[in-house]
Amino acid sequence: MRACVVGAGPGGIVTAKVLLENGFDVTVFDKYDEVGGIWSPGGCYDGLANQSALRLFEFADLPNRLRFASAVDSRRYLEDYAGTFGVLERLRPGTEVISIRPVDGPGRVGASGWTVDSRPTGDEAAEVRSETFDYVAVASGAHHYVRLPDLPGRESFPGTVLHSNDVRAGTFTGRRVVVVGGGKSALDLVTRAAREAASATLVQRKVNWVIPERLLLGLVGYKWILMTRLGESLLPRYHDPACVRPVDRLNDRVKRALWSAITRDMLISSGWYRLPKHLRPAHALPFHLAHAGVMPRGYVRAVRRGLIDAKVSAVEAYTDEGLRLATGEEVAADVIVFATGHHKDFPFLDPGVRVHDSTGRLRLYRGIVPPGVDRLGFVGFRQVFNNIMGVELTAHWLARHFRAALRSTPDEQQMERAVDARLDWQEQVLPGSGGYDFGPYDIHCADELMHDMGFPSHRTGNVLAEYLLPGGVAHRYRGLAKGR
């Protein structure tokens, strides 16, 4: 059974490792010269740091003692993992996949396998190599195809315009920097600009929630509150009834009261309460918690000291000096950075393979396989807070799906109905998730895949540990390859 894995970031290397354990002959393609994905040099903005607390950024079979690690240390861990489990021997670095299409033949799409065309990265004149694989796992990452707003007046602005992915060392030094966006990368970059630039301005349409490293007045790490079964029980009820436990049926009034207390603590623990009201999130939690990153160290302090000029407004147009905001204010800039997200696109995939709906949302059963398509799966597009754990469990599910070893496999119509129901739920509970982001539902997402694979979702023998200790962690899921 020949299997192709596209991408050698966290999702790609763990998928290759799991497929190898399941007897597949694996080849891994990656456009970079080394493993790591966004953690590779050039994979994302310079200075990207890991927002994972201790024991979160690790796979089940290789402990990692780093916390809030640098990109260099994060990539080193991934390379160590790939070397330990034989993935490096299967890697073709510096190789770009340019086409994945079904092998000709009767039956369903992909039933006869897939033809994969590749060539050296960036060399359009190079000879294209075509190979046939029985199975394909796409783990190309969700942060490579940048989204830039199409604003009028670009020709009038003489300065530098970048997406956050393209920020490199020295980009900000001594220059007037404006960062547009309200997510984790925007706050990261404007905090850096506050240290390096002549001036730093943040422009955001709304203030999003960002999680402090420590909660309960700064005394307890966030994973002990947000990544437990008890913590997840406070969220709106999960869409899959098979994953709803008695604790998840807590009365909504009680949930609202508890979230009110958590909201107040978040404001205090993060330092937000010391900022003007318009620079704090407008809605109480768990609103938009799905899109929250971890608060960069120094952001609030820089705003309070006037090193960051934070504005809440949409952006209307470029000017010859910088940007004009919807408020009518003009902001001067030498460098404008748009931290405005990414498209979840697969330009190498045959257009006959339906992956998105008409609004651009991903239509994948369980967030992994497209209904009506055989021998093709996606890893890393079932996003949860601890995505390392998420991609590892996805890899196990996909390997069993390829081997027809899941507890049951619904037909195409059943898959379509399940996708519709889940997308409807996401629009209500996780607005703007694009069919991709499951946010804080780490353990519920894990339970769903464990149920499909026929494994117990309880991962400890102690009820207190099961509900009160962090459960959205990979080391609780050791031994899945051996059927335990």
Specify the CATH number for the domain of residue 380: 3.50.50.60
Residue ending a domain, among 319, 341, 363, is 341
Distance between CA atoms of residues 376 and 95, nearest Å: 20
pLDDT over 90 at 435, yes or no? no
Supply the DSSP symbol for 330.
Answer: E
What is the DSSP annotation of 56-81? TS-BTTB----SS-BHHHHHHHHHHH
Measured at the CA of 181, the angle between CA 358 and CA 362, to 5 degrees, comes to 20
Full domain range(s) for residue 92: 2-145+343-482
Residue 355, pLDDT score: 93
Residue 21 lies inside a defined structural domain of this protein: yes
Q: Which of 341, 356, 379 is the last residue of a domain?
A: 341
Residues in Cβ contact with 161 at an 8 Å cutoff, skipping those fewer than 6 apart: 154, 335, 336, 338
Element (H, E) at 13: helix 10-21
SS3 content of the chain, % helix, strand, coil (to 5): 35, 20, 45
Quote the percentage of the chain above a pLDDT of 90: 71
Give the up-direction half-sphere exposure of residue 172: CA atoms within 13 A in the CB hemisphere. 25
Domain end, chosen from 296, 319, 341, is at 341
Same domain assignment for residues 332 and 357: no
Phi, psi of 381 (to 5 degrees): -115, 25
Within 13 A of 267's CA, how many CA atoms are on the CB side?
19
**Contact of 194 with 297, CB cutoff 8 Å:** no
* 351 and 446 part of one domain: yes
Place of tokens 């547009």: 180
- Residue 107 pLDDT > 80, yes or no? no
The HSE-up count of residue 155 (CA atoms within 13 Å, CB side) is: 0
- pLDDT tier, 105 (very low <50, low <70, confident <90, very high otherwise): low
pLDDT over 80 (residue 425): yes
The residues pairing with 360 across neighbouring beta strands, listed in sequence order, are: none
pLDDT at site 46: 83
Considering the domain architecture, whether residues 173 and 220 belong to the same structural domain is answered as: yes
Cβ proximity of 280 and 273 under 8 Å: yes
pLDDT mean over 140-152 = 87
In a domain, 362, yes or no: yes
29 touches 95 (CB < 8 A) = yes
- Same domain? For 268 and 385 the reply is no
Joined together, the tokens standing for residue 293 give: 């990153």
CA–CA gap between residue 138 and residue 8 (Å, rounded): 10
Do residue 288 and residue 347 come from a single domain? no
Is 155 a domain residue? no
**Closest listed residue to residue 300, CA positions, set 214, 190, 179, 225:** 190
Average pLDDT, the chain: 92
Within a domain: residue 100? yes
Distance CA 240, CA 86 (A): 36
**Does 151 reside within a domain?**
no
Q: Is the pLDDT of residue 291 over 90?
A: no
Q: For the chain, how many structural domains are there in total?
A: 2
Residue 146 clears pLDDT 80, i.e. is over it: yes
What is the spatial distance between Cα 482 and Cα 375, in angstroms, rounded to a whole number? 23
Closest CA to 337 of 315, 369, 366, 359: 315
Question: For residues 123 and 374, is the Cβ–Cβ distance under 8 A?
Answer: no
Classify residue 390 by its DSSP letter: H
Q: Is residue 249 part of a domain?
A: yes
Amino acid at 448: E
**88 and 178: one domain?**
no
CA distance 160 to 171: 9
Q: At which residue do the structure tokens 């970031």 appear?
A: 9
| Same structural domain, 351 and 337 | no
C-alpha angle 360-362-366 in degrees, rounded to nearest 5: 165
**Residue 69 pLDDT > 90:** no
pLDDT reported for residue 378: 97
Domain identity same for 310 and 426: no
**Same domain, yes or no, for 102 and 81?**
yes
Whether 178 maps to a domain, the answer reads yes
| Domain annotation covers residue 150 | no
| pTM for the predicted model, two decimal places | 0.94
Segment 356-365, tens digit of pLDDT: 998 889 999 9
Do 111 and 17 belong to one domain? yes
CB 17, CB 28: distance < 8 Å: no
Backbone angles phi, psi at 115, to 5 degrees: -100, 125
The answer on pLDDT for 483 being more than 70 is: no
Q: What is the pLDDT of residue 68?
A: 86
First to last CA, the chain: 24
Q: Say yes or no: 305 and 369 in one domain.
A: no
337: amino acid identity, one letter: V
Looking at per-residue pLDDT, the higher value among 25 and 409 belongs to: 25
Q: Is residue 106 over pLDDT 80?
A: no
User: Do 446 and 413 share a structural domain?
Assistant: yes
Residue 304 scores a pLDDT above 80: yes
